[in-house]
Amino acid sequence: MTLPVPVAGFGGGKKERRSRDGKMRVTHCLILFSLIFLLQGCATTRYEPLGEARSEEIEQINDNTFRVEYRVSPFTSQDALDEFLLRRCANVTLQQGYEYFTMTEKFIILSYHRSTSVTLKMFKGQKPAGGSLYYDAKEELGSLNKNHP
């Protein structure tokens, strides 16, 4: 008496293959969730103080004008990047002995990191006319620090 021999793809191996496919799906899901969890950890979630800025991120153009750049990981939102840049500009303004500032010539750069660069123009004395185009450095820094210490 001869016993039937299962042929690959027919009959006998289906149960084993289903079990192996299910284990592979679970493994793939675990790997995917692990990667997502790790990548979230790469996102910049805190502001780097002015003292930690690299020299190429702050360049003086003249007495009251600087080019200021802020860099974050590619996983950080543009809103967070804009807030960090605003805080950096307020810090530079106060450090240089000025009270008010405006930002012009904004450049957004996407590569291995994300960065935004602006031309920062600073003023002393009375706030320049122009409404929302000019920021009070102390007020901005106070409100930003209150929202995100």
Q: What is the pLDDT of residues 2-21, one digit of tens each?
A: 555 555 555 555 555 555 66
Count Cβ atoms below 10 Å from residue 130 Cβ, excluding itself.
Answer: 9
Domain that holds residue 99: 50-147
Query: pLDDT for 88-143, tens place per residue?
Result: 999 999 999 999 999 988 888 777 777 888 999 999 988 888 767 899 999 988 87
Which has more confidence, 37 or 75?
Answer: 75
Torsion of CA 92, 74, 76, 41, to 10 degrees: -110
**Residue at 124 is within a domain:** yes
Residue 92 pLDDT:
93
**Residue at 17 is within a domain:** no
**Residue at 4 is within a domain:** no
Total domains, the chain:
1
**Residue at 114 is within a domain:** yes
Contact by Cβ (8 Å): 88, 117: no
Strand 114-123: give its sheet, edge to edge: 58-62, 65-72, 114-123, 100-110, 135-136
Q: Which two tokens stand for residue 21?
A: 């496919």
